């Protein structure tokens, strides 16, 4: 009986030690995050004063020739961003519903390009190219620096980098048959 109590005490001490180590690491959601980013999340968490609160945060930085050429960040409480109108989201993201436009933006992030350079990079010619350039200009993602030379705007840069980062983080391979099966089962219920 003495040995069982001693073993239970040892196990209880080990569990407490593991709990302490886990508490030092922070919540499971932050584990595996690089230390320099966890510092930011610690600061953001302190901003959440209500017991049931949340925040969405995004940001980025880009350097060229060892100089910061672009940086941006934004954090909003979830209660606030849920008030954003669907139309506003659609207006911002609809240019990203086309692969060719994304390719144009990715080409322009490397620097200003003329029409012929964009044709070479995208395979789009004439009316097709100008249609996509017009849509991107209407969305304020690009602008003409001079006649026939296009540049990415800050809004375009921020949106592109954020959308690409989201795709890298969130997109998983979707198998159409699995989606169809899921919806078929839902309809039967």
What residues make up the domain containing 102?
85-189
Q: Decide if 129 contacts 118 (C-beta within 8 A).
A: yes
Q: Of 128, 165, 166, 130, give the one whose Cα is nearest residue 148.
A: 130
Q: Is residue 119 part of a domain?
A: yes
- pLDDT confidence band for 70 (50 / 70 / 90): confident
Q: Decide if 118 contacts 126 (C-beta within 8 A).
A: no
- pLDDT confidence band for 41 (50 / 70 / 90): confident
| Residue 66: pLDDT over 70 | yes
What kind and span of H or E run contains 149? strand 149-152
Q: Is residue 103 part of a domain?
A: yes
What length is written for the chain? 189
Query: Residue 127 belongs to a domain with what CATH number?
Result: 1.10.10.10
- pLDDT confidence band for 74 (50 / 70 / 90): confident
Q: Is residue 60 part of a domain?
A: no
- Domain tally, the chain: 1
Q: Is residue 39 part of a domain?
A: no
Does the pTM exceed 0.75? no
Q: Is residue 167 part of a domain?
A: yes
**pLDDT tens-digit map of 138-181:** 999 999 988 889 999 999 999 999 898 888 877 776 667 766 77
Q: Is residue 25 part of a domain?
A: no
Average pLDDT, the chain: 82
């Amino acid at each position: 009986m003495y040995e069982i109590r001693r073993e239970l005490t040892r196990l209880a001490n080990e569990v407490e030690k593991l709990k302490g180590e886990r508490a030092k690491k922070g919540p499971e959601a932050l584990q595996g995050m690089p230390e320099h980013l966890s510092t930011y999340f610690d600061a953001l968490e302190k901003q959440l004063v209500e017991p049931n609160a949340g925040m969405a945060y995004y940001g980025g930085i880009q350097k060229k020739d060892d100089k910061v050429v672009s940086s941006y960040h934004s954090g909003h409480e979830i209660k606030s961003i849920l008030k954003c109108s669907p139309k506003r989201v659609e207006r911002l993201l609809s240019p990203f519903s086309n692969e060719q436009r994304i390719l144009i933006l990715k080409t322009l992030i490397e620097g200003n390009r003329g029409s012929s350079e964009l044709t070479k990079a995208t395979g789009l010619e004439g009316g097709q190219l100008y249609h996509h350039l017009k849509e991107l200009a209407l969305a304020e993602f690009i602008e003409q620096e001079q006649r026939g030379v296009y540049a990415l705007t800050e809004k375009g840069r921020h949106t592109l980098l954020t959308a690409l980062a989201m795709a890298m983080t969130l997109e998983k391979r979707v198998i159409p048959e699995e989606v169809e099966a899921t919806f078929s089962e839902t309809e039967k219920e």
